Amino acid sequence: MRYAIILPLLLMLGMVSCKKDSEKDGDINQNNFSAEVVINGDTIIMEPALVGYTNAVGAGGGVIDTVGNYLFRQFTEFASVNDTLRIYFIDIFATEPTAAQKEAIVRAGTFPTGYGTFDVIAPDANLLSGAAIVYIDANGTRWTTDRDPQNQPNWSFLVTSHTQNTVDNFSEFNTSMTFSARLYNPLNGNFIDVQALQMTARTVLP
């Protein structure tokens, strides 16, 4: 399994055939990328000018079963010293995907609930193509749609724009999206509701 991220990767992986994640930083031109997110009714503006958020991208995948099925995901995240919001785009292939197939995972349009952020995953897990969301709050608590991907009463996920990144060389694309999701605490089943009113982020590792 290979991974690449533009900030340090904070994942615990449990997949078959794992390989080291790679990283790339994205510290400049950050003001082109921002998000307005509502978490349990509280609005958070994620942009460098206000609270020092950075926007990073990453990608990776690996064989997920004994017959060679291959899961690959692209992800983007907004991170500060207080919290991190990470968005995953996930797809499953019969064999290792080509570079073009990996790039095409992120696209304009709607996405169903995906499963496969690799936080806690078994080799025989029922993985799902689509989008998944992880939020790590100021207390270090991880909230994720992976905990219960089928229990999403208000799920919506729409990529409204997906264009070539001409701002910097830290990603292939600039992507705008909105979403609404319920994120669960994997340890106790508690949940928070998260809504992105607007988000423009780097996507697809170059």
Residue 103: in which H helix or E strand, if any?
A: helix 99-103
Better pLDDT: 51 or 85: 85
- Rounded CA-CA distance 14/6 in Å is 21
> What domain count does the chain have?
1
* Greatest Cα-to-Cα distance within the chain, rounded to the nearest angstrom: 48
Q: What average pLDDT does range 62-88 have in this prediction? A: 92
The helix/strand/coil state of 56 is strand
Cα radius of gyration rounded to whole Å, the chain: 16
Give the pLDDT of residue 18.
35
Strand 21-23 to 2-5 pairing: parallel
Residue 118 has pLDDT above 70, yes or no: no
For 199, the domain range is: 2-203
Q: How far is CA 112 from the centre of its chain?
A: 14
Q: What average pLDDT does range 29-43 have in this prediction? A: 87
pLDDT digits (tens, 9 = 90+) for 154-192: 999 999 999 999 989 999 999 999 999 999 998 898 999
Give the pLDDT of residue 8.
31
The first and second tokens of residue 68, run together, are 């060679």
